[in-house]
Chains A and B, each alone.
Chain A
Amino acid sequence: MIPELGHFAIILALLVAVVQGVLPLLGAHRNDSAWIGLARPAAQAQWLLLLIAFGCLTYAFIANDFSVQYVAEHSNSQLPTVYRIAAVWGGHEGSLLLWVLLLASWTLAVSLLSRALPEVMVARVIGVLGLVSCGMLLFILLTSSPFERLLDIPQDGRDLNPLLQDPGLVIHPPMLYMGYVGFSVAFAFAIAALLSGSLDATWARWSRPWTLAAWIFLTLGIGLGSWWAYYELGWGGWWFWDPVENASFMPWLFGTALIHSLAVTEKRGAFKNWTVLLAIGAFSLSLLGTFLVRSGVLTSVHAFATDPRRGIFILTFLVLVIGSSLLLFAWRAPKVGLGGRFALMSRETLLLMNNVLLVVACGSVLLGTLYPLIIDALGLGKISVGPPYFQAVFVPLMIPLLFLIAVGPTARWKQASVGDMTVRLRIAFAIALAAGIGLPFILGSWTPLVGLGVLLAIWICVSAIVQIRERFQKSGNPPPAFWGMQLAHLGIAVFVIGVTLVKGYETEKDVRMAPDDTVEVGGYTIRLLGVKDAMGPNYRASVGDLELSKDGKLLRTLHPEKRAYFSSAMPMTEAAIDTGFTRDVYVSLGEPVGVEDGSGAWSVRVHHKPFVDWIWGGCLLMALGGLVAASDRRYRLQSRFSAGIPSALKGATS
């Protein structure tokens, strides 16, 4: 009964979405206030219905209702309750339901937080979001309902993939989806602005907090996913350039470009067409990611079970949404003015370079991701594209970008003087240069890449200090937007330090260890005491007992595990990590290799990873920076600045 209610709620939500997607848009076109007024209640009703559907599915999981096919395939009566809830989005159908619920939640947020916006604009934005929702709900109902029943009710469920039975994976997908789906709001604002024909500074200011919010979630989601891969997959890597990872990274790159471009459009009224295109692009890439993960056209380690029918549906949906948006863009964009003029050397130019670099980087990731498919389609053979391509192409694009992070904010709008900026930043650059030359020697040995990484990170940090000092001298306490920017840029610097130092100085050893054997890594000694058997709720484990010590002093014990889940043939590795501010010691168990000789020996992999946690620390700082920037009062005082004030008058505030 409950699953049928859930299914029914989705059908009702689709009907409401049709109303929400059609009438407010028509109303805005014909200036019919009754139809315009439908937008908010429809959005709220749709959210409530999808919440009910989601609740029904969650209930089916908690109650172990294995008559529901999706539950039978992704849960098990021995699965702990928290993972039963996480299993709701552990497969294709449920994760789609989460997708539409989050879309409805963003729409709800728009409907509640847009009192200051003109009603026509709100109606258009909510209408566009309703149309997107229509497509996804149809997709669920026609190809991927999570509420299908089974005639043969199995005794027990097949269990959630053991890789997903992890606290990190409980929150990673919702975060990531919040980011993906959140770009739909910036997209809807862009489409609404194109429809109304007024692409102006007000539109940019309305879009900014929403774009920032989506970007924060996406940043956290990607960071969490990378952290999870690091501690869960057992080989100590944190990014693999897998198509599914790239699918989340591409919207992030576009979203980052969009945040910067929106700033120019708001402050200077320039880049309008470009900004609209980025807003369409960021959401299009999110949809493309959905397609890549669920259609089976690419090989990936963590794609969903695929079905060509679903692929055809999403591709059609992609063509309708993205195709019509780009057509609308091609029709409206020629009439949009150019906005404020600027000189060759100005903050506008530097931000344009930022945008070009980010978009080209995104293009290179897209090309690498799709290259196997393209080559195969052209009949040129079968190839796979791995990390060497991405490192060779992506890193050189990031170097000028990192260099510009420190320069951009010091440039004036409209016209900047190179000589003036050189004077202001020359000491900062000298410090960075000294650090790039000297610091690697202190940490170990000097290599060009480590030197360059350190130089760029320190360059960003010292330049931030210069900017903050100048800012205080000029105008007192700067607004949150300024602090947000500095925090996010600092996050990039921290991230770069993490990547550079872990790449430059990490060491790893694969050894055969019998009890009482020791292995040295990065100045630490690890002694194997033994491996014991233990039972978990739905798995059997071999738990290693190892001692970590340095200079003869015992630091702690480590307990890596090798788990055999009852439901899966694949053994799982649970690494044991001693996390530190400047390094991780990472131990994972391989295979028992001493069975025949009775020595009880295991193959053990140990890593010493300097500064690896700075990678995720950097992501956190970036997200925090986004949060601070989004909290700027400006965005909440929108009603006072109505659309009439020319944007140029409000320039030079940050």
Chain B
Amino acid sequence: MKRFLIPLGLFFVLVGFLAWGLKPGYDPREIPSPLVGKPAPLFELPQLMQPEKKFSPADMKGKVWLLNVWASWCVSCRAEHPLLVSFAQQGNLPIVGLSYKEVRGGDNFKVPEIETAQSKAAELALGLQRAETWLRQHGNPYTLSVMDIDGRVGIDYGVYGVPETFLIDKNGVIRFKQSGPVTREVFDEKILPKVKELEKS
């Protein structure tokens, strides 16, 4: 009799795993970032609206804030944007925008083989213009924005798909990362509870 129960036993092991996969909030597409729990990589970049001023994550010490990586050529950013705008209007949390590879990330731009100061300046000017136009059209949810024109900062942050959003605590440690567009559910179920918890500490 016992050996005839083996198939049933195997089946229930399988069901156990499948049931685990159904637990609320489980998403097989979610890829954990090794940066969660680590200090946010430091950088210093010119601000989008005031290029003469620089911004560094160190400036945000003592605040809980969001770093949102975006670009005007990114289709999913457009889907995510209205949510960021409406969230910014509530004014609970500063959002810093990181404009990522604004020019070279899009179509039809070839990075020159030898980059000169001139070519860099031209790329930056074009990027500033595109980013500003886009924010004028779609609304600006950002407390301030910075330009990562060549994507160097993006490398430090392990950006592999735009948009990406990082939640950073008062001590400058990354507490949560969302790859791909932030949705209403992600805001309500993941980001906001974490923010509450972090602001208490």
Contact = CB atoms under 8 A, between A and B. Distances in A.
B74 to A, nearest CB: 12
Interface in A254-312: 273, 277, 280-281, 284, 288, 291, 295-299, 308, 311-312
Nearest to A309: B22
Interface of A, secondary structure class, is: helix
Interface of A: 273, 277, 280-281, 284, 288, 291, 295-299, 308, 311-312, 315, 318-319, 322-323, 326-327, 329-330, 333-334, 370, 372-374, 376-377, 382, 569, 595-596
Nearest to B22: A311
A330 B1 contact: yes
A329 B7 CA distance: 9
Contact of A382 (B7, B8, B18, B32): B32
Main secondary structure of the interface of B (DSSP, over half): helix
Contacts of B1: 330, 334
A479 B32 CA distance: 60
Nearest to B30: A382
Nearest to B9: A326
A198 to B, nearest CB: 18
Contacts of B4: 273, 329-330, 333-334
Contacts of B26: 297
Which one of A288, A299, A330 has the highest number of Cβ atoms from chain B below 10 Å of its Cβ? A330
Given A311-B22, A373-B28, A376-B28, A323 B7 contact: no
Given A291-B18, A315-B15, A330-B7, 8 more contacts: A315-B18, A329-B7, A334-B4, A373-B18, A373-B28, A382-B30, A382-B31, A382-B32
B28 A327 contact: no
Contact of A330 (B5, B30, B108): B5
Nearest to A370: B17
B12 interface: yes
Contacts of A273: 4
Contacts of A295: 18, 21-22
B7 A373 contact: no
A298 B21 CA distance: 8
Contacts of B28: 296-299, 372-373, 376
Contact of A299 (B14, B29, B32): B29
A323 B17 contact: no
Contacts of B12: 323
A319 B21 contact: no
B22 A312 contact: yes
Contacts of B5: 330
B197 to A, nearest CB: 22
Nearest to B26: A297
10 contacts: A291-B18, A295-B21, A296-B27, A297-B22, A297-B26, A299-B28, A318-B18, A323-B8, A327-B8, A382-B30
Nearest to A377: B20
Contacts of A372: 28
A295 B24 CA distance: 12
Given A298-B28, A329-B7, A373 B22 contact: no
A322 B11 contact: yes
